[in-house]
Amino acid sequence: MNFISTRGDTPALGFSDAVATGLAPDGGLFLPETLPQFSSDELKALAGLDYPALCTAFFRRFATDIDEATFAAIVAKSYTSFTHPEIAPLVPLADNLQVLELFHGPTLAFKDFALQLLGNLYEHQCAARGQTINVLGATSGDTGAAAIHGLLGKPGTAIFILYPDGRVAPLQERQMTCTGADNVYTMAIEGSFDDAQTALKDIFADQTFRLHHRLSAVNSINLARVLAQCVYYLSAWLRLPTAQQENVEFVVPTGNFGNVLAGWMLQNMGVPIRGFKVATNQNDILYRLFTTGEYKVDQVAPSLAPSMDIQVASNFERFLYFALGRDPSRVREVMTTFKATGEYRFESFDRSTFSASRCSDAEIPGIIKSVYERFGYVADPHTACAFAAPDSDRHSVVLATAHPAKFPDTLRAAIGVDPRHPSLEALKSRPIVKHPVAASADAIRAFIEARAV
Ligand SMILES: Cc1ncc(COP(=O)(O)O)c(C=O)c1O
Ligand SMILES: N[C@@H](CCOP(=O)(O)O)C(=O)O
C-alpha cells in the first residue's frame, strides 16, 4: 500500500516512510492511495478477535512493508500497558446509549491507542535502519503525555513537545514534565495550541532541518495515528448486536478532528456505521462547519475541556481532500486561500454522515452532574461535551476520551467527587522540568538543534 499527499506534490511513499516523514514535504497530509474495502464476510471473520489481533489484521491492509510477525509483535507490546482486559470496554448506560472508554492506557487518554503503537514502530525503525530519530509534537494536553510515554527511555530517540503554557490542566502538565527521562524535552510556549501547531508545521516544512535531524511527527498529521484510531471504532462496532450496528452513531469529543476522521475513514472502508456526531466545546469551528458549511477561524477561548481548545483542526485537510473529489489541486487552492483569509465556505458537500453539537463552559459542569445523576457515570469534561445533545432515534456510542482523574477541579466543582488515579498521585511530588521557548519556528529549531540525537 502506498500513501499520497493531500496536496499531490509529494511522490507516493510506503507505510514506513510515510510514518517516518509525518507531514508530507509539500505541506499536505498523507492518506492511503486507495481506501481498502472490508466485505461483510471479512468483517464477520474479524469478530471475536482480541484487540491486538484485530489491530494487526486491520493494519495488514496498510503496513504492507513490515512483515506480519514483526508487526504483530509490535502491536502486542503496545497494548500490554493497558489496564483493562478489553482494552477499550463498552459500558452500557441505557438501552440506546453506551460509552466506549478509551482511557485505560498509561496516560489515561485515547491518544495512548496510537502513541504506544507509534512509539514501538519508531523503536523498530531505529533498529531496522540503524538510525536515531527526533520526534516533534504539539499538544493541548494529551498528545504530549501519550507521545512521551510511548517513547520514554527508548534508545536512539529524543522527543520534543510544545505546549501552551498555563493552558493545559495541571496534571496533564505533570504527566509531561515530571518524567525525569533524559530523552524528553517539554517546551512551554506563550499562546494557544494553534500557535504551537503552526510553528510545528513551519518546522516540518523546512526540509533541510527535517531531514538533517530525521524529524518525525506524533500528532495526528502522522497517518499512523489516524489508522491506529480506526481500530477502536472497528472493535466497538464488531461488538454491537446486529440491529445496533447499522443504526449506530459515534459521538466524538472533537478538537483537531483526528479522532472522528478515523471513524469516518473506517465507514468509507465499507463498515456500515450510520454516522458521527462532532461534539465540540466552546471552540466550535467544526460545529459551525457541519451545521453551516462555513469553516472560519475564531480566537481560541480557554475552556474547561482544554485539550479541545483548538480552532485550526489539522485533519480538516484530509476531510477536504475527500470532499473536493480527491483533487489535490483544489486542496492546494483552498488551503492557500484558508491560510490567507482564515475561512472557507463549501458551496456544497455531503455532510449527511455528520451531525454536530457544541458545549459552552457554562454547560459542562451541569452535563457532568446530569450524567452522574442519571447513569452514575463520571465523565471527564471532554467526554461531557459529547453528552450535550442526546439523540433518541439512534444507538449512540459516546467516546470517553480521557479519565476524569485528569481534571479533578472540574469534577469536584460539578459533582463533589474527587476522582484519583495512582499514576497521577505519584506525579504530585515530582519536580516539574520544562523549558520556556518562544512560539516561533526559529526559536524552536534552535532548541532542537542543541539537543537532537
Ligand atoms: C481528552 C480529549 N478529548 C478530545 C480531543 C479531541 O480529539 P481530536 O483532536 O482527535 O478531535 C482531545 C485532543 O485531541 C483530547 O485530548
Ligand atoms: N487535543 C490534542 C491536540 C493535538 O491533537 P492530535 O490528535 O493532532 O495530536 C492534545 O491533547 O494534544
Q: Is residue 352's pLDDT more than 90?
A: no
Question: Closest ligand 2 atom, CA of 221?
Answer: 8
Q: Average pLDDT in the 428-438 region?
A: 97
Q: How much distance in Å is there from the Cα of 142 to the middle of ligand 2?
A: 6
Share of the chain above pLDDT 90, in %: 97
Ligand 2 proximal residues by C-beta, below 6 Å: 139-144, 219-220, 255-256, 258, 307, 314
Q: What is the pLDDT of residues 289-315, one digit of tens each?
A: 999 999 999 999 999 999 999 999 999
Q: What is the pLDDT of residues 7-26, one digit of tens each?
A: 999 999 999 999 999 999 99
pLDDT at position 349: 85
Return the C-alpha cell found at 165. 503554557
Q: How much distance in Å is there from the Cα of 70 to the middle of ligand 1?
A: 30
Ligand closest to 314 (CA) is 2
Give the residue, by CA position, lying nearest to ligand 1 atom 9: 256
Q: d(Cα 155, Cα 182) in Å, to the nearest integer? A: 11
Q: What residues have CB less than 8 Å from 172, skipping those under 6 apart?
A: 141, 142, 144, 145, 306, 307, 406
pLDDT at position 351: 83
CA dihedral 109, 174, 190, 413 (to 10 degrees): 70
**Which of 104, 143, 111, 145 minimizes the C-alpha distance to 404?**
104
Give the residue, by CA position, lying nearest to ligand 1 atom 15: 307
Return the C-alpha cell found at 256. 483537531
* 391: confidence class by pLDDT, cuts 50, 70, 90: confident
Ligand closest to 402 (CA) is 1
Q: d(Cα 2, Cα 110) in Å, to the nearest integer? A: 27
**Mean pLDDT of the residues in the chain:** 96
- Domains, the chain, in order of start with CATH, read 84-110+224-421 (3.40.50.1100)
Q: Are strands 13-14 and 2-5 parallel, antiparallel or unpaired?
A: antiparallel
Q: How much distance in Å is there from the Cα of 146 to the middle of ligand 1?
A: 12
Return the higher-pLDDT residue of 393 and 113: 113
DSSP bridge partners of 248: 395
Q: d(Cα 217, Cα 201) in Å, to the nearest integer? A: 10
Return the C-alpha cell found at 446. 534552535
Question: Which of 44, 111, 201, 339 is labelled catalytic?
Answer: 111
Does 253 contact ligand 1 (Cβ within 6 A)?
A: yes
Q: How much distance in Å is there from the Cα of 67 to the middle of ligand 1?
A: 31
Give the pTM: 0.97
The pick from 256, 312, 399, 406 for probing ligand 1's pocket by mutation, whose C-beta has the most ligand atoms within 8 angstroms, reads 256
Does 175 contact ligand 1 (Cβ within 6 A)?
A: no
* 173: confidence class by pLDDT, cuts 50, 70, 90: very high
DSSP bridge partners of 109: 402
pLDDT at position 153: 87
The pick from 23, 113, 115, 140 for probing ligand 2's pocket by mutation, whose C-beta has the most ligand atoms within 8 angstroms, reads 140
Q: Average pLDDT in the 107-135 region?
A: 96
The answer to whether 111 is a known catalytic residue is yes
